[in-house]
């Protein structure tokens, strides 16, 4: 198995008196094999998790960018709405002024017409 | 009619246009045969005695910035309570004057400093009908503590206090109502005014060579003096040097002088110091100013300055949103701009470039102000409003003795409530 090759490291190309401990090494390796296999499984799971975390992080970063763009757009819209509201209020005030002036002029016209009527011979 | 006028100050002792407006209205009512008695505070400087003015009230001068800033917190709060809520001494004086003068109607003006809430409550308790002339958000100020309206007080005011109001612009009652006080539908709009004999019609107008800009009033950022100075700076940066800006008013902040220095505008912009209303009117006429710059804040109820300047042929250039903007039409009687240095500089540049017919604006504005904004044209409406107020029902009539007792109780209670946390 690819993941267990590491444990053969001290069991190949061994020469001289060091060959005597090879059977011991092999027996230990045999005994520990289930543990090593389990470790491989765990590490593979971690690897998979890391990949998923990476994908999730990328997704989150993209979402954050979208949200930031959304906030910028909303800020621009708010500024535009505030501006429009300001313009509307200013326009409303000017309109009110116009209406008041018109009313005053109507009153003056009425008063002048009344005066003229009184002055006309019957 | 017998009319009792209540005002915190009365000329020659005054702070601003509100008190001057009060004295002009009083003179106009007296000239039309009404019996008017003014009840106001003891003057802050000696003044001549006038038979129709009783200066018997105590003023708690919360407008004295120096005194308020150099006093302890507990003193400030007690002073504010006495100025806004109740001053039993003033209630006592009011009850005495009411018994003696027996007015048909009370005509209320600026009541901050007198414990105005207590005075209005006293009138309400005694069933004296009243008309309140609003040139500032006085009802909501009287219901405020530390600069904020107290919801319990504003709610009570709306429920218990019933009278009629004259307001100088639509935005003023709107502001008062936004702070929680319901004025019901008892508000009538009446613009501010000019008074005095009509000056000769202006004959000398801007010819495109040199623009003379003037501004007058309080020198503060809320009035946009900084905006005006910066607008002058921008105008010069844009290559216009043929203009001057004279700013009249009491300078109490070195910021504005520094700003003129920093922008190197000493040749063009001058802080000219304080002038009386009559002196200003003469200046608008004699110095032949072309425009009156008024980049004021949105809260402005309706300043007298631009009106007086317009009467003398000086075209107001004002913020698009303010009380004055409700009464004059852009491009017809005045020019309106966004409240920014850029916008004001642009308007001045347009005038200098000959794109604005300032003469026609000036003639129209002057004629309209003398004709429709003169006090003589408006005082009949004040009379009608006073008569309508006097005809109002007078529910819950109590006695003056009880009113004074209640005022004493309220005063002591507010003092205890303020002092208690400091004694703990």
A1 pLDDT band, cuts 50/70/90, is low
pLDDT value at position B322? 96
Residue B327 touches chain A, beta carbons under 8 Å: yes
Shortest CB distance from A90 goes to which of B320, B371, B372? B320
pLDDT value at position B202? 77
pLDDT value at position B71? 86
Task: Write the DSSP symbol of residue B150.
Answer: -
Sheet with B105-108, strands from edge to edge, namely: B53-57, B35-41, B2-6, B105-108, B130-134, B164-167, B187-189
pLDDT value at position B396? 63
Question: Which of chain A's residues have a Cβ under 8 Å away from the Cβ of B333?
Answer: 101
Nearest CA distance, A73 vs chain B (angstrom):
24
B158-162, B202-206, B319-323, B386-390: which range is least confident on average? B202-206
A3 pLDDT band, cuts 50/70/90, is low
CB distance A97–B336 less than 8 Å?
Answer: no
A22 pLDDT band, cuts 50/70/90, is confident
- With DSSP H G I counted as helix, E B as strand and the rest as coil, what are the percentages for chain B, rounded to 5? 45, 15, 40
Does residue A120 register a pLDDT over 90? Answer: no
CB distance B329–A94 less than 8 Å?
Answer: yes
Token pair in block for residue B254: 């070195």
**Number of Cβ within a 10 Å radius of residue B321:** 22
Nearest CA distance, A97 vs chain B (angstrom):
4
Instruction: Output the furthest CA–CA distance in chain B (Å, rounded).
Output: 71
B240 pLDDT band, cuts 50/70/90, is very high
Give Cβ neighbours of residue B145 (< 8 Å, ≥ 6 apart). Answer: B77, B80, B81, B84
CB distance B332–A89 less than 8 Å?
Answer: no
CB distance A104–B372 less than 8 Å?
Answer: yes
pLDDT value at position A122? 60
pLDDT digits (tens, 9 = 90+) for B112-152: 999 999 999 999 999 999 999 999 999 999 999 988 999 99
Nearest CA distance, A76 vs chain B (angstrom):
19
Nearest CA distance, A87 vs chain B (angstrom):
9
CB distance A94–B336 less than 8 Å?
Answer: yes
Q: What is the mean pLDDT of chain B?
A: 93
Beta strands B164-167; B291-294: pairing state? unpaired
Token pair in block for residue B409: 């109780």
Question: Which of chain A's residues have a Cβ under 8 Å away from the Cβ of B336?
Answer: 90, 94
SS3 label, residue B395: coil
Nearest CA distance, A108 vs chain B (angstrom):
10
CB distance A93–B329 less than 8 Å?
Answer: no
Chain A positions contacting chain B at CB under 8 Å are 86, 89-90, 93-94, 96-98, 100-101, 104, 108
Q: What ipTM did this prediction achieve?
A: 0.80
pLDDT digits (tens, 9 = 90+) for A85-106: 999 999 999 999 999 999 999 9
CB distance B326–A89 less than 8 Å?
Answer: no
Residue showing tokens 């970063």: A61
- Asked if residues B122 and B91 have their Cβ atoms less than 8 Å apart, the reply is yes
Does residue A17 register a pLDDT over 60? Answer: yes
Shortest CB distance from B329 goes to which of A86, A101, A108? A101
A75-79, B64-68, B233-237: which range is least confident on average? B64-68
Question: Which of chain B's residues have a Cβ under 8 Å away from the Cβ of A96?
Answer: 170, 326
A5-19, B312-326, B340-354: which range is least confident on average? A5-19
């Amino acid at each position: 198995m690819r993941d267990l090759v590491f444990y053969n490291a001290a069991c190949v190309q061994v020469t001289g008196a060091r060959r005597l401990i090879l059977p011991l090494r092999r027996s230990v390796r045999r005994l520990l094999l289930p543990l090593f296999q389990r470790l491989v499984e765990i590490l593979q799971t971690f690897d998979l998790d890391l990949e998923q975390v990476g994908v999730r992080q990328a997704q989150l970063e993209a979402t954050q960018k979208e949200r930031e763009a959304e906030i910028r757009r909303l800020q621009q819209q708010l500024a535009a709405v505030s501006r429009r509201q300001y313009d509307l209020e200013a326009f409303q005030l000017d309109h009110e002024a116009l209406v008041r002036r018109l009313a005053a002029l109507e009153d003056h016209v009425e008063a002048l017409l009344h005066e003229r009527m009184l002055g006309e011979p019957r | 009619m017998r009319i009792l006028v209540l005002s915190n100050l009365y000329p020659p002792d005054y702070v601003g246009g509100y008190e001057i407006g009060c004295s002009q209205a009083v003179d106009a009512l007296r000239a039309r045969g009404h019996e008017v008695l003014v009840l106001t505070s003891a003057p802050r400087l000696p003044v001549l005695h006038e038979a129709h003015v009783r200066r018997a009230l105590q003023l708690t001068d919360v407008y004295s910035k120096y005194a308020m800033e150099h006093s302890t917190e507990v003193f400030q709060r007690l002073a504010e309570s006495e100025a806004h809520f109740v001053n039993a001494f003033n209630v006592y004086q009011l009850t005495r004057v009411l018994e003696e003068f027996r007015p048909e109607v009370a005509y209320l003006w600026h009541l901050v400093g007198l414990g105005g809430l207590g005075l209005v409550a006293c009138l309400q308790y005694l069933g004296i009908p009243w008309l309140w002339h609003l040139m500032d958000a006085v009802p909501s100020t009287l219901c405020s503590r530390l600069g904020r309206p107290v919801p319990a007080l504003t709610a009570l005011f709306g429920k218990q206090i019933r009278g009629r109001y004259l307001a100088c612009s639509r935005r003023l009652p709107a502001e008062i109502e936004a702070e929680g006080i319901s004025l019901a539908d008892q508000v009538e709009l009446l613009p501010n005014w000019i008074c005095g004999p009509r000056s000769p019609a202006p004959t000398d107008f801007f010819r495109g060579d040199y623009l003379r800009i003037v501004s007058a009033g309080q020198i503060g950022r809320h009035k946009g003096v900084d905006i005006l100075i910066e607008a002058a700076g921008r105008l010069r940066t844009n290559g216009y040097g043929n203009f001057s800006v004279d700013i009249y008013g009491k300078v109490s902040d070195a910021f504005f002088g520094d700003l003129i220095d920093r922008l190197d505008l000493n040749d063009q912009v001058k802080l000219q110091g304080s002038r009386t209303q009559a002196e200003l009117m003469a200046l608008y006429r004699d110095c032949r100013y072309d425009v009156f710059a008024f980049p004021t804040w949105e809260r402005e109820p309706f300043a007298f300055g631009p009106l007086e300047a317009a009467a003398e042929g000086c075209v107001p250039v004002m913020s698009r949103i303010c009380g004055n903007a409700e009464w004059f039409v852009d491009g017809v009687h005045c020019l309106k701009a966004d409240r920014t240095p850029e916008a004001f500089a642009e308007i001045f540049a347009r005038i200098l470039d000959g794109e604005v017919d300032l003469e026609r604006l000036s003639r129209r504005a002057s004629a309209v102000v003398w004709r429709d904004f003169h006090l003589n044209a408006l005082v009949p409406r004040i009379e009608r409003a006073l008569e309508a107020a006097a005809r109002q029902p007078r529910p819950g009539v109590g006695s003056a003795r009880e009113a004074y007792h209640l005022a004493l109780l309220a005063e002591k209670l507010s003092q205890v409530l303020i002092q208690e946390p400091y004694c703990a």
